[in-house]
Amino acid sequence: MHDFFVSAVAFIVLVGVMVVVHEFGHFLVAKLCGVRVEAFSVGFGPRLFGVKYGDTDYKVCLLPLGGFVKMTGENPGEAAYPSVTIQSHPGAIDPDDDRPEDIQTATPGQDTGSLMAHPRWQRMLIVLAGPFSNFVLAFVLMVIYFNFVNEVPDIPTTKLEWVTPGSAADQAGMRAGDVIASFDHVAHPDYQRFHDLVGNDTNKTVPVTVDRDGAAIQTSIHLPGRIDAQHDDLSKAGMFVQYTQSPIQIDQVSPGSPAQKAGLQSGDKIVSVDGHQFHTVLPLVDYMQTGKGKPITLTIKR
């Protein structure tokens, strides 16, 4: 039930942000072109609150599924010439007086704030501004995510952070801290290239040269046939590659857990575990599972 609630709220927020940004694009270009915007609404349904500034009612409505922009003359059938000017002779008091200058006449005047009163190219820009705003939003979010949220490999070499005891990598004599100098005759493969090679060489025995403290050690490894390197599944061969320099940070400590009893706190950074440096969670979990419940010693930076 909790997961459903979180998903539902996330969906509403996602759709709401996308639609509001989309409508803001229409709104901004319409304003720049001189089109009268009657309303800019976040949400649909009954008006909850807002403020009217100029011709526009900026409001928040009850249903949070997006929003809308109301422009004068945007609906089919709305006239672009709604205003009427009444002209009459000042002395036209007697209704029986049929002098031409006294006859009341109606002259339609064009509403310059109507959407349909503007050139076609401006109307096209207003329409295109919505999807263009969504494109800008997606681009900005990608830039923020890949530069400040998603941690990409920052190590030029392929270095093994941990090797599972008894695994194919362990049987090949590979050790934590080894740098892959050559894999399947490809010299100094980077992180992505190494993953691609492992994925292509499943169920094969390939030659490997590792650099261990300056010494070149040649060996070979038989890769299992069930490795899916595209999903970082190198653990099936017992290999965990280091792809970041930063230590693991603890986000939350569960009440009553062994971690809390050991004195760990939210925000702590794990510098080492039994002298081993781990930079990602998967190799640390594999190390702890290998220990089968034995106590471990942590060095913490607080």
What percent of the chain lies above the pLDDT cut of 90? 51
Taking CA atoms, 182 is separated from 163, 164, 177, 188, 217, in Å, by 17, 20, 15, 5, 10
Q: How confident is the model at residue 3 (pLDDT cuts 50, 70, 90)?
A: confident
Q: How confident is the model at residue 30 (pLDDT cuts 50, 70, 90)?
A: very high
**Predicted confidence (pLDDT) at residue 203 exceeds the cutoff of 60:** yes
What residues contact residue 82 under an 8 Å CB cut-off, 6+ apart?
111, 114
Q: What is the mean pLDDT of residues 268-288?
A: 92
Q: Cα-Cα-Cα-Cα dihedral of 190, 196, 198, 199, to 10°?
A: 160
* pLDDT value of position 111: 78
Q: How confident is the model at residue 109 (pLDDT cuts 50, 70, 90)?
A: low
**Predicted confidence (pLDDT) at residue 29 exceeds the cutoff of 50:** yes
Q: How confident is the model at residue 296 (pLDDT cuts 50, 70, 90)?
A: very high
Q: What is the mean pLDDT of residues 182-205?
A: 85
Q: What is the mean pLDDT of residues 162-176?
A: 93
pLDDT digit string, tens, across residues 54-99: 999 999 998 888 889 999 988 766 655 554 444 444 444 455 555 5
**Predicted confidence (pLDDT) at residue 180 exceeds the cutoff of 90:** yes
**Predicted confidence (pLDDT) at residue 46 exceeds the cutoff of 70:** yes
Please provide the DSSP assignment of 22-61 as one string. HHHHHHHHHHHHT--EEEEEEEEEEEEEEEEETTEEEEEE
| 167 φ/ψ angles, rounded to the nearest 5 degrees | -80, 175
Q: What is the mean pLDDT of residues 269-280?
A: 93
Taking CA atoms, 43 is separated from 48, 54, 57, 91, 136, in Å, by 10, 21, 13, 53, 22
Smallest Cα–Cα separation from 242: which of 174, 299, 136, 160? 160
Burial class (CB in 10 A: 0-12, 13-18, 19+), 233: middle
* pLDDT value of position 201: 73
pLDDT digit string, tens, across residues 6-21: 888 888 888 889 999 9
pLDDT digit string, tens, across residues 111-164: 788 888 899 999 999 999 999 999 999 999 998 888 877 766 667 788 999 999
Q: What's the rounded Cα separation, in Å, for the pair 228 and 237?
A: 10
Q: How confident is the model at residue 284 (pLDDT cuts 50, 70, 90)?
A: very high
pLDDT digit string, tens, across residues 53-62: 999 999 999 8
In order of start, what are the domains of the chain with their CATH numbers? 2-72+113-149 (no CATH), 159-242 (2.30.42.10), 248-301 (2.30.42.10)
Q: What's the rounded Cα separation, in Å, for the pair 137 and 140?
A: 5
* pLDDT value of position 85: 42
Q: What's the rounded Cα separation, in Å, for the pair 245 and 300?
A: 16
Q: What is the mean pLDDT of residues 227-244?
A: 74
Task: Confirm whether pTM is higher than 0.75.
Answer: no
* pLDDT value of position 244: 83
Q: What is the mean pLDDT of residues 226-235?
A: 61
* pLDDT value of position 268: 95
